[in-house]
Amino acid sequence: MGVAGYVALRVGWAAVVSVIIVTVTFGLLAAAPNPSVQQAATQAALEGGDPQEAVERERQLRGLDEPLHVRYLDFLTGVYTLEWGWSEYRSQPVTTALADAVLYTAQYSIPWTILTVLFGPLIGVYSAANMYTWRDHAATGFAFFGYAIPNFFFGIILLLIFGVWLEWIPIVFRTEVPAFSLANARQLAIPVFVLVTGSIGAIMRVSRNESAAFRNATFMKTAKAKGVSPLRAYAYHVMRPTLVPLSTTLVGQLLAIFLGSSLLVEVVFGIPGLGRLTFNALVAQDTNLVLGSTLLFTFLAVVGNLLEDLAFTVLDPRISYDDREL
């Protein structure tokens, strides 16, 4: 089959997974009572009308009188053609609301992810290379500190220090600043730092423990006996094999923080990103918007897992594609 065949199969499988998720979502929606129908009935009853008739009218209006399979196909096409409906709370199409929010989320998420992926393994391998010395303990201490302290709390403390006392950064995120500007970098530095400390700990610990096994492997002795410098030996002979097991945990770790912590950080720093949008949509019971952001997160997870699997297969040459199950 080869690599290309495996990749094609795995991508196809990701598509199937996304259809399954959309289907389950539809099933849940269809089974749950529709709040707008309930509302119409209540309204009609209050105004002395016929609640039953109002329910019928509302159902017809929303296309709920159609057979289930027609509604399912409509829903499916809607999802894949990005017609995700109207957000009542934002008074704009759901996709527009999401696109606006993604723009802000991306501004801190991309640097945060890059920094984590770059420095997590680096600090981990450094720690393993200096195992049980003060350098290792310092790196481990830093990792556990970031891991243990809640992001939102850490964010508030830093905001207090750098925003309120030192007045180096604005207290509330300013959306009028252009995305690629020094001012934007300054106001995003603290949220990015907070998220990096939160995510780097887990990555660093995994890298440290995985590379600890490789630094004592015979091939490291081989490298040393060949006359390879310690720096090169770690960079090539330890870092590379460490990336294989790391790739399996990296995406999961990042997604967990992306879904959980970014909301809290957005609330603390007043960034109008995806997390806050979802939170507000939930509070406002804006079904379409909640559904939209849920689907967005779900797709991110599917794509993330896809990338993780592909990275794993490409990184470890020992994996054979010929008899590989998905």
Partner 1 sequence: MTDNGSGATADGSGATADGSGATADGSGATTDDPLLAVEGLRTTFETEAGDLVAVDGIDFTVERGETVCLVGESGSGKTVAVESLTGLIDQPPGRIEGSVRFRGAELTALPPKALRRHRGASIAYVFQNPQDALNHCYTVGWQLIEAIQVHEDVSDAAARARAIDLLDTVGVPDPAGRIDEYPHQFSGGEKQRVMIAMALVTEPDLLVADEPTTALDVTTQAGILQLLDDLKAEYGLGVLFVTHDLATVSQIADRVVVLYAGTVMERGPVVDVFERPAHPYTRALLACLPGRESDLDAVGGAERGGIAGSLPDPTAPPDGCRFAPRCAHAESACSTGDQPPEVAVGDGHRVSCIHYDPGDDPSALPDPTESAAEAERSSVESARQDVIGDE
Neighbour-count burial of 261, counting CB atoms closer than 10 A to its CB (0-12 exposed, 13-18 middle, 19+ buried) = buried
> Does position 316 bind partner 1 by CB under 8 A?
yes
CA–CA dist 326, 309 (Å, integer): 9
Is residue 229 a contact residue for partner 1 (CB under 8 A)? yes
Taking the C-alpha atoms of residue 89 and residue 50, their distance in angstroms, rounded to an integer, is 28
Contacts of 20 (CB under 8 A, 6+ apart): none
Strand partners, 135: none
Closest to 270 measured CA to CA, from 89, 104, 100: 104
Chosen residue from 191, 241, 275, 292 binding partner 1 by CB under 8 A: 241
Of the two residues 79 and 223, which places its CB atom closer to partner 1 in the complex? Answer: 223
Three-state DSSP at 326 gives coil
**CA dist., res. 266 & res. 278, Å (int):** 11
Closest CA to 124 of 246, 247, 237: 246
The only residue of 240, 260, 282, 285 in contact with partner 1, by rule CB under 8 A: 240
60 binding partner 1? (CB under 8 A):
no
Closer CB to partner 1, residue 81 or residue 218?
Answer: 218
96 is a contact residue toward partner 1 (CB under 8 A): no
Q: Smallest gap, in angstroms, from Cβ of residue 4 to partner 1?
A: 18
Residue pair 119/246 in contact (Cβ under 8 Å)? The answer is no
Show the binding pattern over residues 187-226: x = contacts partner 1 (CB under 8 A), - = does not: ------------------------------xxx-xxxxxx
- Nearer residue to partner 1 within complex by CB, 133 or 175: 133
Per rule CB under 8 A, is residue 318 in the interface with partner 1?
Answer: yes
CB of 13 to partner 1, least distance (A): 26
Residue 44's Cα: distance from chain center in Å?
43
Residue 324 binds to partner 1 (criterion: CB under 8 A): no
For partner 1, the closer of residues 126 and 173 by Cβ is 126
Q: Is 227 in the site for partner 1 (CB under 8 A)?
A: yes
> Which residues form the interface with partner 1 (CB under 8 A)?
217-219, 221-229, 236-237, 240-241, 244, 315-318
